[in-house]
Structures are given as structure tokens and as C-alpha cells.
Structure 1
Amino acid sequence: MSLFRAKETGGRGRSMATGTFYIGVGGHQDLGDEATQHFVAEQFRQLLMNFQASHTDIVLYSALALGADQLFIRGALELNIPVEAVLPCMEYEANYASDQERLEYQRLLHACQNIHQLPYQNCSGDAYRAAGHWIVAHSDISILAWNGFPAQGRGGTADMASYARLLKRPFVHIHTRHHTVSKYGELAPTSSKTAQMAPKREFVTATQPVYQGETLTVKQHRVQMPDGEELVRDTVELPERVLILPVCQGRKELIVLLIEEYDFGAGTWQLTLPGGKIEPRVTLEEQAQQELRQEIGYKAGRLEKLVELHSHPGYIAQKVHILLASDLEWEPLEAERYEEIKVHTFTLEEALAATAEDQRFDPEAALALLIFNQMHRTC
């Protein structure tokens, strides 16, 4: 096992990197049986010795939790590697239930050369996650003793692995179930600790339209990234629109009115909600009432906001307002020419079941139903 060994340099021995090399650690409080604890300790010791061969100054960051964290700290101190504590919350010591646990925590804390106290008063999932993120963000590499499963709560070891991937920071996974060691990412000769990021609108230096249609515009954007590289991104821009979920109380169950129309882009019929683009100088509520009356024949006595969202995928630029319509009364407007709309009456449960059918439901309409159902159940 020799991950991250120092590079050989043409007969002159190994080169030693200058500057402090920071190693972040994290892992489960319950590592498992004695064989697993021994495996984790030995692999960690070997990793530290490899890093010592190529770096003159090493510092370990740890949250001092029971289990893997304290095992790692003891291993680092045995090799004379200084440790700095990252404490998630002000009341952290209260997590140690027994006198023996508290004494060991105090001993290791006293052995740390520095303490980084996070501002959370109470210990919580948010505090633990913040500590894990802090360690990953401030480290050149992280070493995680982890079973490879998703976190059982916010702030677990899995969250540190995910955050390292987000920042494109290297980490070593000491697998506590498989007893294997894997490396992810590359260790740079010198770490700038600058998080890599996706292209964002604020990085755009030039924009030009490449197509203008009746309902959409295609634009091409030149994006100057912080590292100097120039990228090109295309967007499809659509006008703001409104969708309306009409509901009423049936004899025994809640009723929703859905429409079915031919989706020209998908080439199939789909269940969806009444709606359309918001015309200039027309309010959201006026547009919603017009769409309802044209497409299902009813006017709403009451309109409420359900949710606002942006259409997906990410190259589409469109804001969508979803409203809830109730107190429905027949007051139709003439339907638009070339519209072929079928109106369906569903119970809420029937509509929800239909969302699970392949290619049956418009995804934004399905989302509106799921959100409404959640709100309805909590009322």
C-alpha cells in the first residue's frame, strides 16, 4: 500500500515539498471489530509515513470525536505530527457521556497545538456538517474511515466525502467493511485551496442571440472562468408562465381537474395543468383566470401561490409560477384555435398514482401535485 508516495528525483533522493501540508480526518465513531480497528490504524499510519517522506511540515485537522477521529489523533501524535482541533459547537464536551471519555477528550484537546471553534452553541447535524466541511476545505487531502454507505444523519462521514468531491479535493477512503484503501482525486504539488466551480451568469463576458422564434430565443454566452479559461454556453430562453392546479371538494374525496394535450416536443399525449405564458401588461392572477376559463371552462373564486420554480434542464431559462385554484364556477372563454384539450376529473389519489406511470405526466404538473398533497396532509 503506497498511495501518494514521494516522487523520486534522478539519483538525488526524494524531493521534500515546502510549506505546511494539511491533512483532514474523519470517520465513524463505531469502526467495528478489533480487526477493523487494527486495519484502519495501520493503513493510517502508513499514509502518514508516506506523507512525512515528502513533506517537511504536516498538520492534522480533527474534530476529536470518539472512534476514528481519536484513533487518528493518537497515530499522528505518535509520529510527532501536530494536531489542530476543529470543534463543531460550544457544548461539544457534553457529548462525552462517561468520565473516561471526557478525560481522554480533554487529554487529546490539551495535546492540540491550536483550536478552531465553530460558532454553533448547540451540537446538531448542522454543526457537525459545518465541522466536516471546514476540515475538507482547509486541508490539502482528507483521510476518511468510512463504510461506504450514505450518512445516517446530517454531518456524517459520507457528507465529508461528498463535499470533497464538490471542491475537487483529493481524499483517501479507508473502507471499514471491505478493508481496502482507495484514492480519489489528484494531489497537486502545491494546493491553492481555491474551490473549482461551475460556469455562472456573473462570469459572462458577451452574449449574442443565435435564434429568435415566436416563443423562444436561443442565446450563446461566452464565460470567463476565474482561472482564465473561456467557455461557451447556450441557453434557451422562454417567457415567464403560469400553471394552475384546480381543486374542489367531491362527495367524499378531494377532486383535481387535469388536462390532457398533445406535447409536440415529446410527440405524445400527456396529463398536465392548465396554463400558459404571461402576456405583457397582464397580472399573474389575470393570466391564470384566462387560462383556466379557456382550457377547462372554470373561473376560480380563490387563487393561492403553491410554488415558484425554474424549468429544467439547466440550459432552459424560464420562471414558472404554480397556483392553486379553488371555489371553481363555470364561466368559459372561447378556446384558442388549434388547441385540443381533454379535461379529466381525478380524485387526488388517482392523480398521484398517474404521476408514477411512464411518460404519462408532465413533470412540473407532477411536482405540483406532490407538493399540494404534502401541504394537504399537514393541514
Structure 2
Amino acid sequence: MRVAPKVELTAEERSTLSGWANGRKTPVRMAERARILLLAAAGTQDTEISTRLSITSKKVARWRKRFLDKGLAGLEKDAPRPGRTPSIRRDAVAEIVRLTTQEKPPNATHWSTRSMAAAVGVSDSSILRIWHAHGLKPHRVESFKLSNDPLFGEKLEAIVGLYLNPPEQAIVLCVDEKSQVQALDRSQPGLPLKPGRAGTMTHDYKRHGTTTLFAALNAASGKVISLCPQRHRHQEWMKFLRLIDDATPEGKQLHLIVDNYAAHKHPKVERWLKRHPRFHVHYTPTSSSWLNMVERFFRDLTENRLRRGIFRSVLELIEALDEYVDRHNEKPKPFIWTAKSNDILAKVMRAKAVSLKGQSA
């Protein structure tokens, strides 16, 4: 009868294997391998170990040999397996990826799994797996807008600098207005949410008027100063600036990040700013509202309160907006800006280069 190779354990190896064999959180496979080696070290032969543990003797011999060759490290990881031979050749996969990224079907703007499957002669489920493996989603498209502002880099550095390194004894405020906020009421009452069924809401609605929300987000604390006038002309903008002046400590310099809306640059506004020298206005580059962090607050407001809200009057809408801001200010949480201006500028330059290349082609 063939005798299995002898297994000898050091005190440290025996302690480790005992811990694996008896540990409550040890994976079943590891516990089984540890018991095999402990029995083997006690002089038990493979056939007897297989009987005790209700496994095959081939498995016992395999893990005995693995331990003798690689020690404890050989037990912690399974050997790589060849796997099934791919049903689609690599060159065929490469051709599918090329067609997806560089060509279009003759009668559509983008490929579907079925149209690609018909073009290359494989199943649509195979196309789906290949697209998933290569991160391809032809049905999706993301929008973008590149700024043509000649002072883009200068304005970008100034605003990002205020976020990352705000000046001492100063307050950085991200200011903008959310115009044409509609008081919408649904034409019919929807059904409430219940187990197994989503809430319902009619697609049509009744309009009861609009309002404008002016908001100034404190970049450091996350608190918001707000105002809801009926319109958003330069008169309302100056009224909001006065509110900011009254709501902030007198000894603090105020750095306002605003967009290029005409009301923000009205001559009367500029004269008012000259009379209040603690106000320092930083205009975002054109087509770059994403640089203003108050837009993130507006997005959360839309998602959490407005999109599915029901408002039967403008007054009810204004009350809802004021309540949302008050609740936000009870536990404010600032939005943390992490992107550096150099990284943003490099990304924009790459996008412009690709855009120019596409236009020339």
C-alpha cells in the first residue's frame, strides 16, 4: 500500500491550523483544509482522513501536497483554473468593440444589442456581455458644454482658490437664483406608496404661478440665506444683496461667486457694490454654472422637495421653500470641493482638442 508523504508542523503552524479548524468565522473550505493537515500531521493516511471528513482521498492528497510544496500560503488561495474556452474569438470581440465605438448602423444613430448581433452574427446576449466587459453603453449619451470665455483659466483659478484656500476673516458665498419655480398641482390625486407598488402621480398638472428663489450658500458652513421675490430683475438682486449685508457679520469681507446674468451686472448694481466695498464679486466663466456650488443645493432642493411636490398656490410653494431652507440650516452640511484648477483646466483642454478634431474630420 502506498504511504502518503509525512507532514510535520511547527508550533506556529499547528496553532494557526487549529485556529482555522475551530474558528466560527473561518470559511468552510479553509476549515476543511486545516483539519486535513492536522490529521495528516498526526500520521493519519489519506484514505482514513477522507472517511472521517466525508471527502475524496484525491482531495486529501492534493492539499497534503500543496502544503508540502508551499506551506500555509498554499492553503489560502485556490490554484487558477483554465475555465471554459471562449465561444467568441478575441479578434471577433475586438471587431465588435471597434464597430461599437467607431461606426454606426445604416439606419440608426447608435447600435442596439440586436442590430449589432445581426451585423456580426452572434447572439444579442453575447453582445451584451461584451459591452458590459468593456464598459460600453451605446444607448446612453452625456451632454457637455465647453466654455469659450477668453478668461476661463483666470476665473477658474480665482473661484477654485476661494473653495480650497478661502481668505482669512472673510466669508465665501455661492449665490444664484432659481427662476421660474412653478407651483404645480396635479389634475388628479395619485395613489400612495404601498408594499409591492410604487406611488403614482398623473403626468398632467395645473399651474398656479411661479416664484424665484434667491440663495446664498456659505461655502464653509453650508448655511443658506434665501429670498423668494416674484421676479428676478436687478431690483430684486439688489434687495437680496442688502439681505446678505444684514445677515452677515459687519467685520467680514464677502466674496460672492455669481454667474453672468445681466441683472448681476446692471449699472445700478455696480454702483451699489462700489458703495459697499466689503463685497467682492467673482463671476463664473460663461457656460460654467457647475463651478457655483449653490447649484448642488438647487439640485437637492429639486429632487427632495419640488419634483414630486404638490402646490395649490404660489404662497404654498414659497412656504415650502422657506421650510426646506430652515430645515437645511438646522443641520447644515457644506459641499466639499476637491478638484484642483490645474486638473479641471487640463480636462477642459483635452475636451476642446477632441472637439476640434471632430470638427476637422
* Same topology, TM > 0.5: no
TM-score, structure 1 length as denominator? 0.24
Q: Select the structure of larger CA radius of gyration.
A: 2
**Length-normalised TM-score, structure 2:** 0.24
